[in-house]
Amino acid sequence: MRLAVAARQTETEGWERFEALYRSSRDDVYAYVLTLLRDRAAAEDVTALAFERAYRRRRSFDRRRGDERGWLFAIARNAALDELRRRRRTATLIVEPEAVSDDELAGEDEQDLVVRRTAVRDALAALAPRERELIALKFHAGLTNTEIASVIGVSESNAGTMLHRAVQKLRRAVSAPV
């Protein structure tokens, strides 16, 4: 009897933890998947699939290998790559840069903002798919270099180096004279 009660309590706690992970990560996972797929409907489907897979595999999660968020993004990445392979398309970034607040706009001409956003979008489009993915994992998903390394399957120092190079390339492209 006690064993059954303990099992139900463990299952309830597991569900609550998964629900908290879902609530805290769903928008970021969707933005990341959308970055890879360039298709809103497919991104919704793949995001749902990633959470389904994560829920089914929740018992196999090992904290020693990283945190739940990094684990979830690895599942989402694999689901998105499966979809890309199925479609045989290349990933590009179509998500607009985040909206800026009114405080950030103070003193900045709206036309300058449009020009700057266009430059960032064009610079992102010029990056290699792997570089766009790194940028998306860092800035859409908010993952640490350790988590990024786990998601893409490289060492932490390699992930940091690759990310640094991608950001530098992005900065050079944005600041290059037209």
Least confident of 18-27, 67-76, 80-89, 148-157: 80-89
Kindly state the average pLDDT of the residues 34-41: 87
CA distance 125 to 120: 9
Parse the chain into domains and list their residue ranges: 2-175
Count of Cβ atoms closer than 10 Å to residue 130 Cβ:
12
Q: What is the pLDDT of residues 85-133, one digit of tens each?
A: 887 644 344 444 445 455 554 555 777 777 877 888 888 888 888 888 8
Q: What is the pLDDT of residues 49-74, one digit of tens each?
A: 999 999 999 888 888 888 899 899 99
What pLDDT is recorded for position 90?
A: 40
What pLDDT is recorded for position 3?
A: 55
Q: Which two tokens stand for residue 55?
A: 């829920």
92: closest CA among 36, 142, 49?
Answer: 36
CATH number given to 2-175: 1.10.10.10
